[in-house]
Amino acid sequence: MGRVRNPKRSISMELKFVDPRSLKDNPDKARRSKSSPQADALLLATIKAVGIVQPPIVAAETEGGNGFVIDEGHRRVKQAIAAGLEEVAVLVVPRAEDGGAMRSLVTTIAHEQLNPVDQWRAIERLVALGWTEEAIGIALAQSVRQIKKLRLLANVLPAMLDHMAKGDMPDERQLRAIAAASLEEQKEVWKAHKPTKGDPQVSWWAVANGLAKTRMYARDASFGDDLAQAYGIAWVEDLFAPADQDSCYTTDVEAFLGAQQEWMTQHLPKKGVIAETNNWGEVKLPPKAERVYGTPKKSDHTAMYLDREGKVKTVHFRMPEAKKKGKAAEEAGGADETRVVSKPRPNVTRKGVEMIGDLRTDALHEALSRAPIEDDTLLALLVLAFAGQNVRVDSGAGGDHSYGRRFPRHAATLFDAEGKFAFDTDTLRIAARGVLIDVLSCREGMSKSGVVALVAGSAIGADGFLANMGTEDFLSCLSRPALEGSCADTPVLPRARVKDTRAALVEHFKEGHFVHPAALFAPAGAGLAEWLAKSAVTEDEDDDVPDAESVEGEGQVVDGDPADEFDEGYRDAAE
C-alpha cells in the first residue's frame, strides 16, 4: 500500500534568489499541454510590469545534483527568462517522496480565475490607490477597453452584483443593457425578477429585456457635430461591441430623428421630397409616382426618408407625363406641369401626437366628470358620442356582432332594488356622464372617437382641464421651429442648442401652465365640414330609417376600427 502523508504536517520553506535559467523542469509536473500564446503573453507582460508576485516552489535535486527542480511555477520561470530577469525569488521546500507530483496536481487544479465581479472590485481598489486604467491594462496585459468594460459594473445595482459574484452571471449583451440603465430603473426591474428560495436562478434575459432601450448609432447618422450639439445628443460608447466597430450610440431617439430630419431638409435636392414610410418600413411615394430602380434621368425626382433604424435612405421616382392642353389652354395658362411638393417635417412627432391624445382624453374625461353641463347638452353629447368612429351600435336587424364593449354598469344604475326601470334625474346624469367617459376618446388607436370628441371637448370647456405640457417629455417631441414658437409670450429666448431652449422652457413652465395649440379641442373647420358631409343623411336614406317604435332587438356597442389614422381636424392643427 502507498503511504499517505499527513497534510497537517508543516513543511519548512526557505526563500532564495536564484538565476531562473538554472532551474530544471520537474518530469512529474501535472500540466503537460502547452499554454496558449495569449496566456503566455499576458503572464510575460505582468512580469515585466510588476515582477513575479508569487515565487515559484522548488526542491533540491536528488543525490548527485546541486541544483533545484521546479515543483510549481514552470510558466512563471519560463516567462521570467523571456523577460530577461537575472534573478528571481523561489521558495525551497524539502523534496517530496513522490517527486512533487501530487503537489503539482493539487495546485494546478486549485487555481481558479477571478470572476468578473471580483476582478472589477480589485480594479476599483487599484484605481482608488492611484493606478490609472492604462497602467492597470499594462500590468494585466489587457486592453484599456477591457478595463473600462469591467468598470461598467460600477453602474450595476449592488444587489445584482452580489448575486453575480456567486457565479450566476449574465452574458455580455445582457450586462450591457443592465449597466446602461439607471440605478432606479434597475431597482424596479430587480424587484420583479430577483431570485427566491424556490428559484435561486435569475432570468437575466427578462432583467435585460426590462431595461433595454432603443439605440440610435452614430454610424447611422448623416448629420454632423453641429446638429448633434444643437439637439443635445451625447454619444455613449458601447464598450461591449467589437473594438474595430464604431459603437457610439444615443438613447435619445426623438433628438436623433429630429437631427436626421433637419439634415434631410438642408440637403434636399432640387427635385427632392422628404417622404414617410408605411407600417412595413417601405417608402410612401407621391400619388401616381413610379419608382425608378435603374439609373435615374435628369427629369426624375428624389425621395429621402428614414428607415426603421433611423438611417437616411434615398430612392428615385418618376411622375407621369402631363396631358397636353389645347391651344387655348396653353395660351391662357401655359403647359401643365406635374409638381411634387416636399412635405416638411411635422411640428409634432408621432410620440407627441400620442401624448396629445392621452392628455386630451384625460382632460375630456375630467371635464365630463366635473364641468357643469346642461341637461340638453348632456343628451346631445350622448347622441354625438355614439357617432364616434370607435363605436358601432348593432340593432339586431342584420349580422351577429357578439364582440366589443358594452356598458352594463351604467345601465344597471337606472334600475331599483326590485329590478324596475326607475331612476331620478341625478342618477340619470351620473349614468350619462359615465357612458360618455367610456365612449369618447382622443387616444390614438382603435378607441379614438375622431372629430366628435373634439366637438364634445370644445362644448364643455375641456381645454381648461388639459395638463401642463411644458415638460421635458412633451417638448422633446417638437421640431425646432415649433419649440422656438413656444417661446412666444414668454421671457424665454431661443438658444443655439435645441436642448438648451427646451430646458429653459421646462424651467419657465415648472410653476406655470403651457398648452400647445395642437392639443386644443376646437376642430378645424375643414375637418368638421368633411365629417358633416360624410355623415349627412340624404332623403333616400331617411326613407329607409325605421321609426323608433318599429325597431326590434337590443342594441349593443362594440369597438370599431378607426376611419383614419389621424382625424383631419387634428392634422390641420398640428401642421
25 and 70 in contact (C-beta within 8 Å)?
yes
Taking alpha carbons only, the member of 342, 322, 325 closest to residue 333 is: 325
Long-range Cβ contacts of 524-527 (<8 Å, 24+ apart): 524/568, 524/569, 524/570, 524/572, 524/573, 526/568, 526/569, 526/572, 527/451, 527/567, 527/568, 527/569, 527/570, 527/571, 527/572
Determine the length of the chain: 575
The SS3 of residue 111 is coil
Say what the pLDDT of residue 564 is: 39
Which residues partner with 273 through β-bridges?
A: 303
Cα dihedral: 422, 427, 432, 437 (round 10) = -140
C-alpha cell at 200: 435561486
- If phi > 0 it is left, if psi is from -120 to 50 it is alpha, else beta; for residue 251 that is alpha
Tell me, yes or no, whether 227 lies in a domain: no
- Where helices occur in 512-574 by DSSP H, the ranges are 525-535, 539-544, 568-574
Mark whether 319 and 360 lie in a shared domain.
no
Mark whether 561 and 445 lie in a shared domain.
yes
Mark whether 296 and 408 lie in a shared domain.
no
Taking alpha carbons only, the member of 43, 57, 41, 168 closest to residue 108 is: 57
Residue 7 vs residues 2, 95, 102, 103: alpha-carbon distances, Å: 15, 15, 12, 11
Residue pLDDT tens, the chain, 575 long: 344 444 444 556 788 888 888 888 877 665 666 777 777 787 888 888 888 878 888 888 776 567 888 888 888 888 889 989 889 888 888 876 665 666 665 665 555 566 777 778 888 888 888 888 888 887 777 778 888 878 878 888 988 888 888 878 888 778 888 888 888 889 988 988 888 887 788 888 889 888 888 889 999 999 999 999 888 898 988 777 777 778 899 988 888 998 999 999 889 888 888 888 887 888 888 888 899 888 888 889 999 999 988 999 999 999 887 666 555 555 555 444 555 555 666 788 888 888 888 998 898 888 888 888 888 778 777 766 776 677 665 434 344 433 334 556 666 777 777 887 677 878 788 888 888 888 888 888 878 888 888 989 998 899 999 999 999 989 988 988 888 889 888 888 888 888 889 999 999 998 889 999 889 988 777 778 887 887 775 555 555 444 434 433 333 333 333 333 334 433 443 44
Mark whether 303 and 437 lie in a shared domain.
no
Taking alpha carbons only, the member of 175, 130, 186, 185 closest to residue 153 is: 175
Say what the pLDDT of residue 399 is: 41
Q: Scanning the structure block, which residue is given the C-alpha cell 433595454?
A: 212
Mark whether 425 and 526 lie in a shared domain.
yes
Tell me, yes or no, whether 441 lies in a domain: yes
**What residues contact residue 406 under an 8 Å CB cut-off, 6+ apart?**
556, 557
Cα dihedral: 373, 376, 381, 384 (round 10) = -160
CA distance 233 to 253: 9
Domain that holds residue 383: 350-466+515-574
* Domain end call among 316, 345, 374: 345
Tell me, yes or no, whether 491 lies in a domain: no
383 and 455 in contact (C-beta within 8 Å)?
no
Mark whether 327 and 355 lie in a shared domain.
no
Tell me, yes or no, whether 523 lies in a domain: yes
Say what the pLDDT of residue 32 is: 62
Tell me, yes or no, whether 101 lies in a domain: yes
Tell me, yes or no, whether 189 lies in a domain: no
Taking the CB of residue 21, how many other CB atoms lie within 10 A of it?
A: 11
* Domain end call among 345, 362, 383: 345
Mark whether 407 and 459 lie in a shared domain.
yes
559 and 447 in contact (C-beta within 8 Å)?
yes
- Please give the tally of structural domains in the chain: 3
Tell me, yes or no, whether 233 lies in a domain: no
Mark whether 318 and 363 lie in a shared domain.
no
Residue 93 vs residues 7, 14, 57, 70: alpha-carbon distances, Å: 15, 7, 7, 10
Mark whether 299 and 433 lie in a shared domain.
no
Mark whether 448 and 539 lie in a shared domain.
yes
- CATH of residue 51's domain is 3.90.1530.10
Tell me, yes or no, whether 561 lies in a domain: yes
Amino acid identity at 271? K
Mark whether 449 and 523 lie in a shared domain.
yes
* Domain end call among 61, 94, 110: 110
Express each pLDDT in 203-227 by its tens digit.
888 898 888 888 899 999 999 999 9
pTM for the full model? 0.44
Mark whether 326 and 417 lie in a shared domain.
no
C-alpha cell at 75: 510558466
